[in-house]
């Protein structure tokens, strides 16, 4: 290696595509409640999520392939979440962040909260916690990247 | 001239005025002329009657006053003509508590869809009858008791 001789690396086209896709995730933020603050902290310099190639958190579904649903999904918001998810181009992935999104959380008997966003849209990775720390969300992101990288194996 | 039924001081030192609901408009106009502003409107379901509580505030004196009225027929006079801030607050109380503010120009639901059955913060609201919301292509919301027709 020191001589500059890099040798030959063989791979399949699928593997190369998966590698590229997993390391350039473009998140769409669905900041619905307090978890969104932790999501902003994940983006900030302290636990810089840009190290994992998912830097540009935008509020537009254009070009995005990852939706981070952060915060309590109310019944009134659920149709809007679904509509924005449908506007995203394929392939698309969803991270459910926080217990409210996973199963209702403290609002488990509430009249206004959806008991889990997986009733509305399919979820790939669940990040538990109330709210999850930025490190937990980063770990969820790495888990999703591993999942994308091994997609053809499954 | 309005009549104050009883006046007390709560733990934080705030003045609490209990008045009859017929005197509400007159009292609020008096306080509006003394440069008081509306902070919030809340409702309390006491099972046999409903309390409506107004918090008003004077910035110059930094003085908070709590005005309480009670109603047995869910109807109270609207103070939206005195303070514009009451328009939104009264709609919220109508939505969640079912208090009817007479004289309000646009009294309809604000947090929940128009088709929602019942008022969720009332004590007789049945939480076991779960309601689900869906949205059609035009963005209109529909409420259903069937979980297959919404979320």
Note the pTM of the prediction, 2 decimals. 0.80
Partner residue facing B151 (CB), from A83, A111, A119: A119
Q: What is the mean pLDDT of chain B?
A: 88
Whether pLDDT at A37 is above 60: yes
Q: How far is CA B23 from CA B37, B54, B69, in A?
A: 18, 13, 9
Q: Does A83 touch chain B (CB under 8 A)?
A: yes
The per-residue pLDDT for A126 is: 93
Task: Look at A9 and A38; give whichever has higher pLDDT.
Answer: A38
Which ipTM score applies to this complex?
Answer: 0.73
Residue A95: pLDDT band by 50, 70, 90 thresholds?
very high
Spatial contact of B70 and B52, defined as CB atoms under 8 Å apart:
yes
Residue B124: pLDDT band by 50, 70, 90 thresholds?
confident
Provide residues of B within 8 Å CB-CB of chain A: 111-113, 120, 125, 127, 130-135, 141, 150-151
Q: Does A112 touch chain B (CB under 8 A)?
A: yes
Whole-number percent of chain B with pLDDT over 90: 24
Q: How far is CA A15 from CA A10, A19, A142, A149, A153, in A?
A: 10, 6, 17, 7, 10
Contact residues, chain A, for B127 at CB < 8 Å? 109, 111
Contact residues, chain A, for B141 at CB < 8 Å? 76, 79
pLDDT, tens digit (0-9, with 9 covering 90-100), for A62-93: 888 899 999 898 888 888 888 899 999 988 99
3-state SS class at B77: strand
Spatial contact of A54 and A65, defined as CB atoms under 8 Å apart:
no
Q: How many angstroms separate the CA of residue B141 from the nearest CA in chain A?
A: 8
pLDDT, tens digit (0-9, with 9 covering 90-100), for A98-133: 998 998 888 888 888 888 888 889 999 999 988 899
Q: How many angstroms separate the CA of residue A104 from the nearest CA in chain B?
A: 12
Contact A79 B151 (CB under 8 A): yes
Whether pLDDT at A1 is above 60: no
The per-residue pLDDT for A154 is: 57
Q: How many angstroms separate the CA of residue B131 from the nearest CA in chain A?
A: 7
The per-residue pLDDT for A93 is: 92
Q: How many angstroms separate the CA of residue A127 from the nearest CA in chain B?
A: 22
Contact A75 B127 (CB under 8 A): no
pLDDT, tens digit (0-9, with 9 covering 90-100), for B10-66: 888 888 999 988 888 888 999 999 999 999 999 999 888 999 999 999 999 888 999
């Amino acid at each position: 290696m020191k001589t500059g001789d890099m040798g030959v690396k063989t791979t399949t086209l699928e593997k190369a595509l998966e590698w590229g896709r997993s390391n350039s995730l473009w998140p769409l933020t669905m900041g619905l409640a307090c978890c969104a603050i932790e999501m902003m902290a994940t983006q900030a310099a302290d636990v810089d999520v840009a190290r994992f190639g998912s830097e540009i958190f935008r509020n537009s579904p254009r070009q995005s392939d990852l939706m981070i649903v952060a915060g309590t999904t109310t019944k009134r918001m659920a149709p809007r979440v679904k509509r924005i998810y449908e506007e995203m181009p394929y392939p698309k992935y969803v991270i459910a962040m926080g217990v409210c999104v996973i199963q209702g959380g403290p609002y488990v008997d509430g009249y206004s909260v959806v008991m889990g966003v997986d009733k509305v849209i399919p979820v790939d990775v669940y990040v538990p916690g109330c709210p999850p720390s930025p490190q937990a969300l980063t770990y969820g992101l790495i888990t999703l990247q591993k999942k994308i990288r091994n997609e053809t194996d499954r | 001239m309005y009549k104050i039924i009883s006046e007390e001081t709560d733990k934080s030192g705030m003045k609490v005025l209990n008045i009859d609901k017929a005197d509400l408009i007159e009292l609020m106009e008096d306080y509006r002329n003394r440069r008081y502003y509306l902070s919030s409107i809340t409702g309390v379901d006491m099972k046999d009657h409903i309390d409506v509580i107004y918090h008003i505030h004077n910035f110059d004196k930094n003085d908070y006053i709590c005005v309480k009225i009670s109603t047995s027929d869910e109807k109270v006079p609207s103070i939206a003509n005195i303070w514009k801030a009451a328009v939104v607050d009264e709609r919220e109380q109508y939505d969640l508590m079912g208090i009817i503010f007479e004289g309000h120009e646009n009294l309809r639901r604000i947090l929940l869809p128009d088709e929602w059955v019942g008022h969720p913060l009332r004590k007789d609201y049945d939480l076991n009858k779960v309601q689900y919301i869906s949205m059609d292509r035009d963005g209109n919301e529909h409420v259903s008791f069937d979980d297959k027709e919404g979320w």
